[in-house]
Amino acid sequence: AQSVTQPDARVTVSEGASLQLRCKYSYSGTPYLFWYVQYQRQGLQLLLKYYSGDPVVQGVNGFEAEFSKSDSSFHLRKASVHWSDSAVYFCAASGSNYQLIWGSGTKLIIKP
Amino acid sequence: EAAVTQSPRNKVAVTGGKVTLSCNQTNNHNNMYWYRQDTGHGLRLIHYSYGAGSTEKGDIPDGYKASRPSQENFSLILELATPSQTSVYFCASGGGVNTEVFFGKGTRLTVV
């Protein structure tokens, strides 16, 4: 069955430190992969997406993600986090019937 | 700019009552979705639609109906609301399997 797993429910990093949020997928074929961010009491917004080509994709606000077919992963990274990056981050993969398969989300907490 | 508008933003309903959540999109997207978001469950798909007149069951359709009378509008209907349906509901629209999905800001529903 197709699935997306975000193994870390919560990640805490210091402001200015680097960040990696993990995402693993299980999908037959090559999926479309997405990272979305949800700020408090808001809807989700797209950070970046990947389908093919360069496995490292750039997104908004300095975020990037790297696709690994061998590892079935699509981890999100940022070189230096800011307090405004505090949010919940969701990884998703395209499924059949134009549905997205969602991970359970990772809450990012930034320490001053 | 792509826009998905949900109404109401907050709703308190009584057990056994009928609740209608409305969603309007100005993106001219064929696909629309209703999700609920609960702590520990991430996003769960309730119903979705491929276009006016179509509705499809998602992963958790029990207790919910959907209506897509036009390209722009997609409603979620709780005929007999129960406390277990207390949640935050998100509407979204999308153009295709590899395109961005745009979310509304959510409706916080409390069933007492």
* CATH, residue A40: 2.60.40.10
pLDDT at residue number A96: 63
Query: Into how many domains does chain A fold?
Result: 1
Whole-Å CA distances, A8 to A24, A29, A37: 11, 25, 15
> Closest approach of chain B CAs to the CA of A88, in angstroms?
10
> B48–A94: do the CB atoms touch at under 8 Å?
no
Each residue's pLDDT tens digit, B28-58: 999 999 999 998 778 999 999 999 999 999 9
> A98–B40: do the CB atoms touch at under 8 Å?
no
Interface residues of chain B, partner chain A, Cβ below 8 Å? 4, 31, 33, 40-43, 45, 48, 50, 56, 58, 90, 92, 94, 96-98, 100-101, 103-106
Whole-Å CA distances, B56 to A22, A67, B59, B65, B82: 31, 31, 10, 10, 22
Residues of B in contact with A94 (CB under 8 A): 97-98
Mean pLDDT, chain B, integer: 94
Each residue's pLDDT tens digit, A7-64: 999 999 999 999 999 999 998 777 899 999 999 888 899 999 998 899 999 999 999 9
Distance, CA of B110 to CA of B49 (rounded, Å): 25
pLDDT at residue number A1: 74
The answer, yes or no, to whether residue A2 has pLDDT greater than 80, is yes
pLDDT at residue number A8: 95
Range of the domain at A18: 3-111
Selected for mutation to probe chain B from A3, A99, A101 (highest B CB count within 10 Å) is A99
As a CATH number, domain B4-111 is 2.60.40.10
Q: Which residue from A24, A12, A20, A15 is spatially nearest to A71, judged by alpha carbons?
A: A24
pLDDT at residue number B100: 83
Residue of A nearest to B95 (CA): A98
pLDDT at residue number B111: 98
